[in-house]
Every structure is written in C-alpha cells, then in structure tokens.
Amino acid sequence: MKKRILSWVILLVIGALLMTACERAATRAPRDTTRANDEIPFPVSTQSQIMIDILAATQTALAVEGTIDSENPQALAQAQPAAMPTPMPQPEEEEPEPTPGLPSTYTIQKDEFLFCIARRLNVNASEFLAINGLGVDYYAQVGDRLTIPQSGKPFDGPRALRAHPVDYTVVAGDSIGKIACTFGDVSPEAIYNANGLEVGSSLKPGQVLHIP
C-alpha cells in the first residue's frame, strides 16, 4: 500500500512539473516574424542628418590637418605652393652712342655724294643708305642732312683713292668738296685747315693746295 501511495505521489510531482513547464512556454510571446519585412534592423539617417555628419567630418579633418601642419613647419612649407617667379623686365633697347670722332649727322656740301661721305667717315655704305631710307641711285642735294650710323661697321671698300699727303693744283670746276671726294678719306675741313682757308672760300684754277 505504501509503495502504491509513493508511486502516486511521484506521478503527481512529475505531473505538476510538466504543467509548470507548459505554462512557462505558453506565456512567452511568439517572435515577430514581420520585423524583417516591416522594419529596418539598423538606424537610417535622414538627408539633413547626412549633411550634418559630412560637415562635421570635414571640420574635424581640417582641424586635424591644421594641428599637424602647425606642429611640423617643414611639412607646412612643403604643402604650400611654390611662389611664381616675378618676370624680369626686359631691358629697353638703347640707341648706340656716337662713335668717338664720328658725327651723328652730316650736311651735304657742294659736289659731295653719298658713297663719298660713307667712304670718308668709314661707315658701311648699305647701312648708311638704309638708315636714311635712300637708294643707291639717290642724288644727294646740297644741304641734305643725313644720319650717320653708329654701329662701327666699316666701309666695304678702299678708302684712300689717291695717295696723300701731297700738293694738288686746282683746275676749273674744282671745289673743296670735290677735291676731298677725289682723295677719298680726306675731309673738306682738313683741307681748309691745312691751307689756312676759311670754310666756303672760293678756289682759282692753278691754285696749289696741300692735301694732308
């Protein structure tokens, strides 16, 4: 009898335990299977919040970069763009200074011509014509004021057409300018001075002049 009672007690205890387990299982809420379809499992930022985050990140990066550059001056110097070189002003073309003993201009006298002046002053004939805008066939007029080139380029030909010093006898039609051109590299002023004559003095046939 006692064994039967003990068996019933054990069965009652087991039954009670089973009932308790069922109640606990029933009280648990079922898992929400619609969450995956209806809700996003992670937070999503709005457009305004995205812009705020971007601005905050940019300011943070700039602050960090400024701190790094201030702590490392060499890195700051390397990061700065190289200064553009200042363009040097181009030197202005200077006009050639007159060659010592060479006039800057010359006024044509009686019986003188262009190549005579170029030969006498020892300047390049082509340059002499070009600087005055003249051609080889130009016939110089008394009183023409011509520019003398100062480049130093010499006359391209013999300068002395006759040997001198020497005495010269004036013939009809002679003038100091013509005689000077006949000798080539002698100036009228030198002939005037060598013979004690005033500039513009008239000559007479048979008159003897010293050509220096």
20 in a structural domain: no
Are 122 and 169 within one domain? Answer: no
Are 135 and 183 within one domain? Answer: no
142 in a structural domain: yes
pLDDT of amino acid 36: 43
Report the C-alpha gap between 119 and 155 in whole angstroms. Answer: 6
Portion of the chain with pLDDT greater than 90, in percent: 52
Specify the higher pLDDT residue, 150 or 101.
Answer: 150
Beta bridge partner(s), residue 169: 208
25-36 confidence digits (pLDDT tens): 544 544 544 444
pLDDT of amino acid 101: 79
Which tokens is 52 given?
A: 């705020």
Q: How confident is the model at residue 39 (pLDDT cuts 50, 70, 90)?
A: very low
Q: Of 120, 110, 100, 102, which is closest to residue 200 (Cα–Cα)? A: 110
CA 67 to the chain's CA centroid: 39
82 in a structural domain: no
Place of tokens 């969450």: 35
Are 152 and 104 within one domain? Answer: yes
Are 153 and 175 within one domain? Answer: no
pLDDT of amino acid 64: 46
Domain boundary (113, 140, 157) is at 157
Q: Who contacts 199 (Cβ-Cβ below 8 Å, separation ≥6)?
A: 188, 189, 192
Beta bridge partner(s), residue 209: 168
pLDDT of amino acid 49: 58
102 in a structural domain: yes
Are 143 and 184 within one domain? Answer: no
Are 212 and 164 within one domain? Answer: yes
pLDDT of amino acid 207: 97
Are 152 and 103 within one domain? Answer: yes
175 in a structural domain: yes
Q: With a cut of 50, say whether residue 74 has pLDDT above it.
A: yes
81 in a structural domain: no
Domain count, the chain: 2
* Domain with 211 in it: 160-212
Place of tokens 């020892």: 122
Give the count of alpha carbons within 13 A of 35, CB side only.
6
Are 133 and 147 within one domain? Answer: yes
Provide the residue count of the chain.
212
Place of tokens 């050639």: 96
104-124 confidence digits (pLDDT tens): 999 999 999 999 999 999 999
Task: Indicate the SS3 state at residue 127.
Answer: helix
38 in a structural domain: no
Report the C-alpha gap between 208 and 126 in whole angstroms. Answer: 35
172-198 confidence digits (pLDDT tens): 999 999 999 999 999 999 999 999 999
Are 171 and 195 within one domain? Answer: yes
Q: Of 119, 122, 117, 120, which is closest to residue 132 (Cα–Cα)? A: 117
CATH of the domain at 212: 3.10.350.10
Q: With a cut of 70, say whether residue 212 has pLDDT above it.
A: yes
117 in a structural domain: yes
Report the C-alpha gap between 125 and 157 in whole angstroms. Answer: 9
